[in-house]
Amino acid sequence: MPGFELFGAEEKKEVQDVLDNGVLMRYGFDGNRNGHHKALELEKDLATRMQTKYAQVVSSGTSALTVALASAGIGAGDEVIMPTFTFVASFEAILSVGAVPILCDIDDTLTLDPKAVEAAITKKTKVVMPVHMCGSMADLDALKTICNKHNLILLEDACQAIGGTYSGKPLGSYGDLGCFSFDYVKTVTCGEGGGLITNSETYADRAHKYQDHGHDHIGNDRGAETHPFLGYNFRISELNAAVGIAQLRKLDHTLLIQEKNYTILREALTSIPEVTFRRVPEKGVESYAFLNIFLPNEELAKKAHQALGKQGVDACFYWYDNNWHYYKKWKHLLEVKSLSKFSEEIQSGLRKNNRSFPDSDAWMSRTISCLIKVGWTEDEVKKRASNMVEAIKSIL
């Protein structure tokens, strides 16, 4: 998955452009740029690649989610439905705009269960936010139907699934807004960075102002720009954007490698009857960033994970006990621990999450996800496949 495995002359050329002109900030200093506007170029490229009208690049995937929520008018006391399996950034972004993350069960897609979403909706619900974890997606048709029925916003967190598609559309473009992470270990990396996409002119206009202190970006004089509303600093630097330009051009090539390596591993594991695979919705094509498997029960999943490690198979994750990615270890969220003080309304909303999610536990306790790297040789992938089969067979 990591794009940094493919760093080369293309990234160096784009970064050198920035170093040569000396302008590292995306706004202003037009006389010194020699025509280089890397963040703007990355936005145009991202919108084109994702088949949307607008794109905004920012400093991280967390920033992208925060800006997207703010641009959609989400704030104090609004509830945002999110899955129990995600990265902590999902609920951090929701809280940062004053809204309340509401945890919701996942199904065998490893993201939001539409039936659980329908049951979680209240008068305060404003957004449904599926997180396309580990390269694949939820049943977006079902979620879109629910959102239309209840007049809710569908916000796709596609930070781990850039390059996947649903119903022929790039992931992130199916909902009202979509977000990506371009951090160091993503399929497309800027080192640090993120982006959001939308077809809404209103959301796009708000986003480009909100991520830069509320500046309207009218005219060439930064000091004379007005501030239609409050904003914050979520800008990306020209250096980070420059890396992203070269990386995004490689996306199709990267996806082909990921699919090839994924297929070799999956075909090898199909020889083990006890191993089953994550469900990809009928209209979906995953990005092949991870191979996600189920063992028959929790005990065997834990043993398989340990056996894979002993066999030298790295980058395989047992999320059920992971501090960053599964609700059971999110004590800071469940117990409302923060350096800042939340209103009683938000605290009350957050307490809804301090309960068990047995349906999610049933899936995650059996799940192992294996990262697909793009730097492997074919011989390395085949050896890895053999080692995986041997490790898992040893515990059955």
Mean pLDDT of 240-255: 98
Check whether 116 has a pLDDT greater than 90: yes
pLDDT digits (tens, 9 = 90+) for 236-246: 999 999 999 99
Four-way CATH pick for 252-393: 3.40.50.10300, 1.20.140.10, 3.90.1150.10, 1.10.1740.10? 3.90.1150.10
Question: What are 268-279's pLDDT values in tens digits?
Answer: 999 999 999 999
Burial grade of 387 (CB within 10 A; 0-12, 13-18, 19 or more): middle
Is there a catalytic annotation at residue 186?
Answer: yes
Convert the pLDDT of each residue in 148-187 to its tens digit.
999 999 999 999 999 999 999 999 999 999 999 999 999 9
Which of 109, 111, 150 lies closest to 127, judged by CA?
150
Q: In whole angstroms, what is the distance from residue 310 CA to residue 387 CA?
A: 10
Q: What is the pLDDT of residues 77-94, one digit of tens each?
A: 999 999 999 999 999 999
Which residue of the set 38, 126, 144, 186 is catalytic? 186
The residues with which 294 forms a beta bridge, in sequence order, are 276, 367
Q: CB-based burial of residue 173 (10 Å sphere; 0-12 exposed, 13-18 middle, 19+ buried)?
A: buried
Query: Of 72, 67, 69, 49, which is closest to residue 57 (Cα–Cα)?
Result: 67
Give the pLDDT band of residue 1 (cuts 50, 70, 90). low
| Contact call for residues 157 and 130 (beta carbons, < 8 A) | yes
What is the residue whose two structure tokens read 């708000």?
206
The answer to whether the CB of 13 falls within 8 A of the CB of 246 is: yes
Between 29-38, 111-120, 291-300, the lowest mean confidence (pLDDT) is in: 29-38
Are 158 and 286 spatial neighbours (Cβ–Cβ below 8 Å)? no
**CA distances to 71, 128, 258 from 56, in Å:** 11, 21, 26
CATH topology of domain 3-250: Aspartate Aminotransferase; domain 2 (3.40.640)
Sign of CA dihedral 295, 299, 304, 309: positive
Residue 325 sits at the vertex; the CA angle it makes with 178 and 341, to the nearest 5 degrees, is 85
What average pLDDT does this structure show over 118-138? Answer: 98
C-beta of residue 190 within 8 angstroms of C-beta of residue 243: yes
Q: Check residue 2 and give its pLDDT.
A: 84
User: How large a percentage of the chain has pLDDT more than 90?
Assistant: 96
Amino acid at 45: D
pLDDT at 221: 81
Ranges assigned E (strand) in the chain: 54-58, 79-83, 100-104, 125-128, 153-157, 165-166, 169-170, 177-181, 194-198, 276-277, 284-285, 290-294, 316-317, 367-371
Percent of the chain with pLDDT over 70: 100
Residue 299 CA from chain centroid, whole number = 29
Average pLDDT over residues 358-376: 97
Structure tokens given for 24: 């590292």
Write the pLDDT tens digit of every residue in 214-226: 999 998 888 889 9
**Domain limits, the chain:** 3-250, 252-393
Partners of 367 in the beta sheet? 294
Q: What angle do CA 252, 162, 275 make, to 5 degrees?
A: 95
- H or E, element range at 273: none
How do 100-104 and 153-157 pair as beta strands? unpaired
Q: Mean pLDDT over all residues of the chain?
A: 97
pLDDT surpassing 70 at residue 128: yes
φ, ψ of residue 198 in degrees (nearest 5)? -165, 160
Q: At what angle do helices 251-269 and 378-393 cross, to 10 degrees?
A: 30
What string of DSSP letters covers 155-177? EEE-TT-TT-EETTEETTSSSSE
Give the SS3 label for residue 188: coil
pLDDT of residue 103 exceeding 70: yes
